[in-house]
Amino acid sequence: MPAKRASPSVLLTGFEPFEQELLNPSWEAVRTLDGWKCGRATVHARLVPCVFGEALDALDRAMDELQPTLVICIGQAGGRAEFTPERIAINVDDARVPDNLGRQPIDVPVVPGAPAAYFSTLPVKAIVRELRAGGVPASVSNSAGTFVCNHLFYGLMHRIATHAAAAKGVRGGFIHIPYLPAQAARFPGAPSMALETLVDALRITVKTALAVKQDVAETGGQLH
């Protein structure tokens, strides 16, 4: 009798709070889905530090442990009003503020000698389409910034491109999400998104990423 195949693993990561915040919506949303079954796949949530270098170490440990087929990293983008899958990660750390250990790299590569950029291998436009159909404000983002979010995103895509994950067809990417209402209350006029909506959006994202191998060809660009 043939051995039973192990169910696929999906890794979701969220960040710890940073810059004097008491919580981070990425972790609050991601941890809600730890253990969730999406078809045959099981979702695993992992917390990563908002620290250059250590964020990538945490990601590497989680990927070594779980051997996921899909990795989606989530980060906070205060000021954004939509759920925004990122299109591209760039090979530069340029921190406007220090990370949680006081590190503030300026104009240094995430990975010396590596390519200037990597594209996400998530179906970002299909994800946006399905989110909008589900009533979630969403759009494709063409800049993940130059802080720890982009650092983690680039490190993920570099690992996928250069490690054994590439041969196994592992896919991954990064998504920025808005403040939670409790955070936005401290910044009058700042947009926010309810935790329930964020969790629903993550469910739609995982389902779409598992089902759609070739992204849809429809507009998602910006003028600036």
List, by residue number, the catalytic residues.
Answer: 86, 149, 176
Q: Which two tokens stand for residue 33?
A: 């889905």
Q: What angle do CA 187, 19, 124 make, to 5 degrees?
A: 80
Instruction: Say how far apart CA 224 and CA 212 lie, in whole Å.
Output: 28
Q: Identify which of 159, 204, 179, 4 has the alpha carbon closest to the alpha carbon of residue 82.
A: 179
- Mention every residue, 6+ apart, whose C-beta is less than 8 A from residue 4: none
Side-chain-side CA neighbours of residue 222 (13 Å): 8
Q: Which of 128, 138, 124 is nearest to 81 (CA)?
A: 138
CA atoms 45, 43, 208, 164: torsion sign: positive
Burial class (CB in 10 A: 0-12, 13-18, 19+), 4: exposed
Residue 5 exposed, middle or buried by CB count within 10 Å (0-12, 13-18, 19+): exposed
